[in-house]
Amino acid sequence: MDKEEHSPSPNVAECVCSGSSEGESDAEDIDITERTDIPTQLQPQLERLKALRARLHKSTQENKREVYQEHQRQHENVNDEKRQARKRREAEILKAREEYTGNDYERSRFKDYSIEQVEKYEDRQRERENNAERGFTDYAQVNRRKYERDVAKLKPNLADYERSKTQTGEPHVPEPKSVERLVKAVEDQQKKRATLHKPSIEQEGEDVSYINERNARFNRKMNRAYDKYTKEIRDNFERGTAL
């Protein structure tokens, strides 16, 4: 009986063991970057771990933001296509109605616009038709046409340049407004180039025929230029493959 009285009860032993295990688990649950018992020689590694975690968190947030913005752009493109389709339908209805009543369709179409707006619209249409006629050959031609468009947008005063060079005989010094216009054009091009180089999300079910974004743009240009000639060949090839 004396031995039984002095021997520890099973419940007390279990409490002691459970208490020690809970202390160890609490220490393990604490984030290593928040622990205060890290040796001094491991402090550089700890600081590096903190920096890596901060970079990981930042990149994760940026990726989420880019995915959201890409999602928004896709919806905007869909809405823009619907808006353009609606405008085309309205134009077709207006043309049919004007032809039925014997009125001039072109005059009715531009009656709500000023002369300057109509001229700008016609200039853009002529430029689009000209680009469509020339088609696509290689990157050199694309770069040349882009250069011509950029120069046309800047609207340089060549007459003033020639007059200044003839009168002074010295290199021409452009006006501050012209310099500001050039700087703004370059900044706009850089912003546009930065957006084009961002990774894009592939459309679900899309037939991937490219290796990078530049190759995808090249393929789209080739399709616009030659699809009307190769469509029948590709359709016949697909039917033969299916058989």
Is residue 164 predicted with pLDDT exceeding 80?
A: no
State yes or no: pLDDT of 12 exceeds 50. Answer: no
Domain count for the chain: 3
Q: With 0-12 CB in 10 A as exposed, 13-18 as middle and 19+ as buried, what is 105?
A: middle
d(CA 23, CA 36): 16
| Shared domain check, 108 and 59 | yes
Domain co-membership, 49 together with 106 = yes
- Summarised one tens digit per residue, pLDDT across range 107-119 is 766 676 777 777 7
pLDDT at 5 over 60: no
Domain extent, residue 73, equals 42-112
Same domain? 52 vs 98: yes
Over residues 179-209, the pLDDT tens digits come to: 888 888 888 888 887 776 555 545 555 677 7
Q: Indicate the average pLDDT of the chain.
A: 74
One domain, residues 59 and 100: yes
Tens digits of residue pLDDT in 177-187: 888 888 888 88
In a domain, 121, yes or no: yes
Choose one of 112, 141, 164: the last residue of a domain: 112
Quote the pLDDT of residue 1.
44
Tell me if 238 is assigned to some domain. Answer: no
The predicted pLDDT at position 33 comes to 74
- Burial per residue of 136-155, b for 16 or more beta-carbon CB atoms within 10 angstroms, e otherwise: beeeeeeeeeeeeeeeeeee
Structure confidence by residue, pLDDT tens digits, 41-65: 888 888 888 888 888 888 888 888 8
Do 134 and 96 lie in one domain? The reply is no
- Kindly tell me if the per-residue pLDDT of 8 is higher than 50: no
Q: Which one has a higher pLDDT value, 123 or 199? A: 123
Taken in order 203, 206, 212, 218, the sign of the CA dihedral is negative
Query: Does any domain span residue 183?
Result: yes
- pLDDT at residue number 206: 62
Q: What's the whole-model pTM score?
A: 0.29
